[in-house]
Amino acid sequence: MNEAGILRDILRVDHAGEVGAIRIYRAQIAIARRRAPDLVPVLLESLGDEVSHRDFFAASMNKRGIVPCHMLSLWWSGGVILGAVTALLGRDAILTCTEAVERTVHRHMNDQILWLASRDADLADGLAAIRDQEVGHLFAAQAAGGRRPRWLDGMIAAVTEMLVWTSTYGASARLAREVR
């Protein structure tokens, strides 16, 4: 795959992921107000970060003439479903969702930053700053305590991985092999 195609795929999947994350948090917040009210402040903070991340990726795509991912509606609807289901399952499921998604996404972002470092340092720096905020979401979920159902963690991580792979037509896996 050529470099322009890799850059396109990076921005599209990261933008789509942020759209999905916004939907996850919005659904979780709506339900957590009754099911896990102690988590609402951290969920609101994370939502604010995700909105700014989405805007960064949208602006980066616009600047380069890149259109959003063709699977954006899947990320949107999947985020709503995942957020609602985990919130209905309760506090531990909400935290499991954050941990599983963030852990999976960080690995992809680290690969992207390595690839971008020598090609577009400004974009690599912006992505690194976003990754660092996302790590904060992971740490906040871990610090909140509770039990994490392994089956749920594994399922969420696998679905996230599948969405990344499908949205990039496998380019995420090729990129990971290239940077390692």
Specify the pLDDT at position 15.
96
7 is in which domain, residue-wise?
3-179
Least confident of 19-28, 128-137, 159-168: 159-168
Residue 114 pLDDT > 80: yes
Q: How many domains does the chain have?
A: 1
Give the mean pLDDT of 76-99.
96
Q: Under the phi-then-psi rule, with left for phi > 0, alpha for psi from -120 to 50, and beta for the rest, what region is 126?
A: alpha
Specify the pLDDT at position 176.
79
Query: Based on the number of CB atoms within 10 Å of its own CB, is 121 exposed (0-12), middle (13-18) or buried (19 or more)?
Result: exposed
Give the mean pLDDT of 75-86.
96
Residue 171 pLDDT > 80: no
pLDDT in tens, 8-59: 999 999 999 999 999 999 999 999 999 999 999 999 999 999 999 999 999 9
- The rounded distance, in Å, linking the Cα atoms of 174 and 178 is 6
Task: Evaluate whether 168 touches 9 at the Cβ level (below 8 Å).
Answer: yes
Under the banding of pLDDT at 50, 70 and 90, the label for residue 178 is confident
Specify the pLDDT at position 165.
87
Specify the pLDDT at position 166.
87
Specify the pLDDT at position 1.
61
How many C-beta atoms surround the C-beta of residue 64 within 10 A? 13
pTM above 0.75, yes or no: yes
**CATH number of 19's domain:** 1.20.1260
Which residue's entry shows tokens 């979401």?
137
User: 107 vs 10, 35, 92, 110, 128, CA distance in Å?
Assistant: 13, 31, 23, 5, 12
Specify the pLDDT at position 145.
81
Specify the pLDDT at position 3.
87
DSSP 10-62: HHHHHHHHHHHHHHHHHHHHHHHHHH-GGGHHHHHHHHHHHHHHHHHHHHHHH
